[in-house]
């Protein structure tokens, strides 16, 4: 798995190809800010920030829940495969509530395994749907509305399927800008200007954006020379300041 700096470098390389205004020069990796582009006449600092819906001083509950739900489905698949040699495609449709904790992982995984074990399709290309009213766990009923079990030769994949609003929120972007903006003065000791790119990487729903109209109208004033939003799903960069 790539580390944080490798991910940031991947983002930076993508941004450099997509943004016609991206400064030219030698790229130097750092921490204050994340990168410095040394051109012929100036050094431009590049700060990268991740976008997650619901983020604030305590982090993002949406992101935490997504991570925990992924842990649940991984554990469920491992538990099932310890006692069954049947490749399955399992989709667990997630509800947006409740908030989970790490203590819930084992119990939820076992509840999913019980449902799957009792409803394995009896032939290839057959499918079984199990609605929440058939669940035997109240927590699973709160977390999921439907489990679909599909049998298709050697295909073997288990997923959490989630639905949520993916419009960007100006208050969440405000938080990112103000938090990273506190460091601009320190960054300017290493470069002559600082650009901020906020990255919606679309790895999960919490980091996905489909509509940015409210942000484009918002307008920003900060210590950054420019602020831009990079939407990886659409491959677009939007100038916010």
- What contacts 36, CB < 8 A, 6 or more positions away? 27, 28, 30, 43, 44, 45, 46, 190, 191
Divide the 241 residues of the chain into consecutive groups of 10 and give the mean pLDDT of each group. Answer: 83 95 93 93 93 69 77 93 92 80 91 94 91 88 90 84 63 83 93 94 70 62 90 88 81
The second-level CATH assignment, the architecture, of 4-53+166-239 is 3-Layer(aba) Sandwich (3.40)
Question: Where would I find the beta strands (DSSP E) of 95-172?
Answer: 127-131, 144-150, 157-161
Sheet holding 26-29, edge to edge: 26-29, 35-38, 43-50, 193-200, 226-231, 236-239
In this prediction, residue 167 carries a pLDDT of 60
Q: How many CB atoms lie within 10 A of CB 68?
A: 18
* pLDDT, averaged across the chain: 85
**pLDDT at site 158:** 92
**Domain positions in the chain:** 4-53+166-239, 60-161
- For residue 29, give both structure tokens: 């990796």
Are 192 and 43 a contacting pair, CB within 8 Å? yes
Stated length of the chain: 241
What's the pLDDT score for residue 234?
A: 86
pTM score: 0.69
Which pLDDT belongs to residue 1? 56
């Amino acid at each position: 798995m790539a580390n944080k700096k490798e991910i940031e470098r991947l983002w930076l390389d993508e941004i450099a190809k997509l943004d016609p205004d991206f400064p030219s020069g030698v790229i130097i990796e750092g921490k204050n800010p994340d990168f410095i582009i040394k051109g012929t006449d100036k050094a431009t600092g590049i700060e990268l920030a991740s976008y997650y819906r619901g983020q604030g001083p305590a982090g993002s509950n949406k992101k935490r829940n997504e991570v925990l739900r992924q842990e649940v489905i991984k554990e469920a698949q491992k538990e099932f495969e310890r006692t069954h040699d049947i490749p399955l495609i399992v989709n667990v449709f997630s509800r947006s509530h409740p908030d989970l904790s790490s203590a819930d992982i084992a119990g939820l995984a076992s509840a999913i395994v019980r449902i799957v074990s009792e409803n394995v399709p009896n032939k290839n290309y057959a499918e079984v749907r199990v609605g929440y009213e058939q669940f035997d766990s109240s927590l699973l009923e709160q977390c999921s509305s439907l489990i679909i079990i599909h049998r298709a030769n050697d295909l073997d994949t288990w997923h959490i399927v989630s639905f949520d609003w993916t419009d960007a929120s100006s208050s969440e972007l405000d938080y990112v800008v103000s938090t990273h903006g506190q460091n601009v003065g320190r960054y300017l000791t290493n470069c002559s200007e600082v650009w901020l790119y906020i990255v919606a990487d679309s790895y999960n729903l919490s980091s996905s954006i489909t509509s940015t109209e409210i942000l484009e109208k918002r307008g920003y004033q900060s210590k950054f020379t420019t602020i831009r939003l990079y939407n990886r799903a659409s491959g677009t960069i939007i100038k916010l300041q």
